Amino acid sequence: MRGNFSSALGNLGLLLQANGVILLIPILASIIWAETNSTLFLSLAAVTSLSAGFILANTFKNRQLTFESISILIVFTYLGLGLTGTIPYLMPGIFNSSAIDVFTNGFFESMAGYTTAGLSLLGDVDSLPRSILLFRSLAQWLGGVSIIYLMILFFTTPGTWTKTQSDIVGLSRVKPSARGTFLEIIKIYLIFTLVFALLLMLAGVSIFNSFNLAFTGISTAGFLPITDVESLLTTPVYIILSILMIVGATSFTIHSNLLGGKLKGFYKWEWAIMIFIILIATIIAITLVPSESPRSVAFHIISASTTAGFSFLEIPDQPNAFKMLLITLMFIGGTSFSTAGGIKIFRLIVAFKGISWMMKRASAPEDAVVVVKVGGRMTKDKDILIVVLSIFLTFLILALTTFAFLIYGFEFGDSVFEIVAALSTGGLSAGLTSQDLPIALRWLLTAVMMLGRMEIIPFLIFIRAIQHIDKR
């Protein structure tokens, strides 16, 4: 057990060092733009991340990772990134309140970035230094790909996961080895980031806003570099951002096949279902919100379905039926093995088939074999149970956290909307997320964002590991 913690902490050190190196980008930008305070606090964050990473990597043995040690690593990674990412938000002028509030708000904002939840306590981002805006976007960009990197580590122990289990947690091999898969993902991620940044520049968006929008769009996150994003939405920009959100919510397997010239591999049933859901939801939404332009409604439907979090409509003022539609879309999310959040379409299909499987198993002879196929592939009983358990626990967390919001006097519908946005890392807001939100609920939403991104099963395994240490 202690070996699992040692291995997790050793690998955490490597990830924190990588995070520290990436922070050099906004530090360099702050120096060029002569943003002295930003340089100081970003440098402090980088030094903290590098130092902590160096100490951990050299103190704990970097052993072969098991399922349990990876679950521990996932939890520690988000805590570590969240804490180091809090430091830039402690800079005077960002959050002006008591020390406890400043730390709470900074940790919330940091976690919203690294988990790609995109919920923000900052009402006016136009007043922020550009280097801080760049840091926020990079945190999302790193968060969007680091969860994939962590999940790839599941393959370091042969036999730990079956192919179906890998799909269930949102992971597939695109290359024969784990290292090759990781490098392929990074290549795809960089290509799409650069391509869409260039397209936005050609559409008339500034270089700074283009890269920030590309960072946050491909990671399906939600932080925006400008308060009034609608002012940027010319027809070409609207089309580019819409495609960008869909690309971010599309499986890396599809991207790898497409970029590799395997056009037959471009089609995947899960992706087709996502597009179908977007089209049907858009048609329904246009009838629900006749006061808004169809283009604006479609943009928000795509944003919710892909959990990208881009928004410019006043969601609190919209009809309840429209808000319920957005809640449903965020909860479902995008495809597996993408940067999108939500329970994922693959899991939803497995869960529906799992209900039929359970009914057949209940009525079948004890020694009967009941086969379930998803996407033409056999699904093991254990895999179905994992999916059903994950979805059940997701609903349980939603119910408990909604009850907490109700205790503080918030309306049921708005409470559910905000919690689903955090749990699915959907990023849209019904207006509850602000610095006026009670501090206890800000911490609760922070925990929900973290749970939603890291997956519930790894968190439960982490809790079990802690309990075993206590017993010893």
> Who contacts 412 (Cβ-Cβ below 8 Å, separation ≥6)?
402, 406
Residue 64 buriedness (CB in 10 A; 0-12 / 13-18 / 19+):
exposed
Among 60-74, 273-287, 387-401, which is the least confidently predicted range?
60-74
What pLDDT score does 444 carry?
97
Highest mean pLDDT among 72-76, 329-333, 357-361, 377-381: 329-333
- The pLDDT of residue 167 is 46
Name the band, by pLDDT with cuts 50, 70 and 90, for residue 350.
confident
What average pLDDT score do residues 20-30 get? 95
Residue 155 has pLDDT above 80, yes or no: no
First and final C-alpha spacing in the chain: 10
> Per-residue pLDDT for 356 more than 80?
no
> How confident is the model over 400-426, as a mean pLDDT?
96
| More confident: 371 or 234 | 234
Q: Which two tokens stand for residue 94?
A: 């960002």
364 or 164, higher pLDDT = 364
Instruction: With beta carbons less than 8 A apart as the criterion, state whether 357 and 384 touch.
Output: yes
Give the residue-averaged pLDDT of 237-250.
Answer: 95
Average pLDDT over residues 385-405: 91
Query: Where is average pLDDT lowest: 44-58, 232-246, 445-459?
Result: 445-459
Side-chain-facing half-sphere of 248: CA atoms under 13 Å: 38
369 or 449, which is more confident? 449
Closest CA to 142 of 28, 25, 226: 25
* Burial tier of 156 (Cβ tally within 10 Å: 0-12, 13-18, 19+): middle
Helix ranges restricted to H, 265-373: 269-288, 294-305, 320-332, 345-363
Q: Residue 63 carries which side chain, given as an amino acid letter?
A: R
Write out the H or E segment, with its range, that includes residue 372: strand 372-374
- Mean pLDDT of all residues in 323-351: 91
The residue with greater pLDDT, 19 or 63, is 19
Mean pLDDT of all residues in 211-240 = 93
Model pLDDT for residues 157-214, shown as the tens digit of each residue: 544 444 444 544 455 666 666 667 777 888 899 999 999 999 999 999 999 999 999 9
> To the nearest whole percent, how much of the chain has pLDDT over 90?
58
- Residue range 285-335, pLDDT digits in tens: 999 999 999 999 999 999 999 999 999 999 999 999 999 999 999 999 998
Backbone angles phi, psi at 260, to 5 degrees: -85, 5
Greater confidence (448 vs 72) lies with: 448
d(CA 77, CA 89): 19
Q: What tokens does 90 get?
A: 């402690």
Q: What is the pLDDT at residue 9? A: 85
Q: Does the pLDDT at position 152 exceed 60?
A: no
Of residues 180 and 225, which shows the higher confidence score? 225
Helix axes 381-407, 412-423, angle to 10 degrees: 140
In this predicted structure, what is the pLDDT of residue 201?
Answer: 97
Mean pLDDT of the chain: 86
